[in-house]
Amino acid sequence: MPVHILSQLWEQGFSSVPYGWTLLKLLPVIAVVYLLKLYFNGAVNTSERNMHSKVVMMTGGTSGIGAEVAKGLASRGAQLVLLTQHTLTDPFLVDYIEDLRSQTGNELITAERVDLESLHSIREFATKWIDNLPPRRLDMIILCANTRTPPGGEATFTEDGLESTWGLNYLANFHLLSILSPALRAQPPDRDVRIIFGTCSSYIGGVLPVSTDSSTADSKKGKKEKKEKKEEAVPFTPGSAYSTSKLALMTFALAFQKHLSSFTRADKNPVNSRVILVDPGWTRTPGMRRFLTFGSLWGLLVYMATWPLWWLFLKSADQGAQTFLYAAMEAQYGRGEGGWFLKECRQMGILKDEVKDEGVQKKLWELSEEGIKLLEQESAKRRAAEKNKGEKAGAKGKGKEAGAKTSATKENGAAKQRKGK
């Protein structure tokens, strides 16, 4: 068939083929779309590593990029521990894990219930994890959990009273890793331990609450500016809140690498835990869809109508997962000092100097520790008050029940007396 068509084209020209000139004119358009799609898909991970017996702890591993990262690692034999807010008997979670096991042929996929919007829930899980002798194996922690308020949306808050973007994107990760750090430092010296943070290029627009302190803390002018900033009410905007949470996460990540590296092991071997920052790029995830649609039904209709554009310019979740997989498997990141920033499967420079500023890192760490301490104290008081209230309600209910039984007994006795008479 192709030979006949080619011979007809040679002898009679394109006009002899139905829609021949139309197809010929479309070829450049198809070629341009193909090349654009190839470009916007980004880099593909070409590194491979034997992941059998590796224990990988993940947040955000049930949707979006995290789900694809989990699938990629599980298919290579890794043992996954998914931290999820769902109860372990939730039908969605049960079906998800069963599907993941069947797709990857890997039965070593489990879940632990951890509500990242609750500091108490994080502490309960993390202390349980480290309270074990010998220390549990832990080869990798991948932090994919993420939230973003749609443009124009109002601030939402965690159960501890934190703005959700700050609480989940930054403080939850700080709290989790702060408690798990002894488990990371206790791993054998020949083990390649990696902590992978998911971030975003929007960190460039973030402003930390301690950003200006490092240069003006000791001057009168600096103190005056600091007081004025405290007095001013900073309006909430979804974009700035998200950018600041990512900037804080990156600053903490580099500080955490120094925290791990400064530890002196009993066996005098060098520290084997390394921090890696990953920017997956713009990806078609549920969070991105919510952002593009402004969290509204009308926005969703517009998104569906313009979906070919988003298909062309945004990565799929699988393509967004490639740099995470590269960070997890590339051999060169199993040695060295850590603190790398990766994008499109290659190392990039951090464009904001305050991320690398040790003074800012230290003050952010101290501020976060103090904030968590106060919030946990308030949370403990609240739980104690709720417990006492429940106990009083239970005691009152038992008292009413006992009174009802006594009155019923008296009535029965009186009835028997009347019957005897």
Classify 77 as helix, strand or coil: coil
Query: What are φ and ψ of residue 205, in 5° steps?
Result: -90, 5
What is d(CA 224, CA 413) in angstroms, rounded to the nearest whole number? Answer: 81
**Which DSSP letter does residue 267 get?**
T
Contact 328, 142 (CB under 8 A): yes
Q: Within 13 A of 416's CA, how many CA atoms are on the CB side?
A: 6
Dig out the tokens for 345 from the structure.
Answer: 């499967």
**Which DSSP letter does residue 28 get?**
H
Classify 57 as helix, strand or coil: strand
**Which DSSP letter does residue 346 get?**
E
Annotated catalytic, 246?
yes
Catalytic residue (one of 37, 223, 227, 246): 246
Q: Prior bond to 134 cis, omega within 30? A: yes
Q: Within 13 A of 185's CA, how many CA atoms are on the CB side?
A: 19
> In 171-315, at which residue ranges do the beta strands (DSSP E only) sit?
193-198, 273-279
Contact 364, 251 (CB under 8 A): yes
What is d(CA 188, CA 132) in angstroms, rounded to the nearest whole number? Answer: 15
Helix axes 358-420, 119-130, angle to 10 degrees: 100
- What is the set of active-site residues? 246
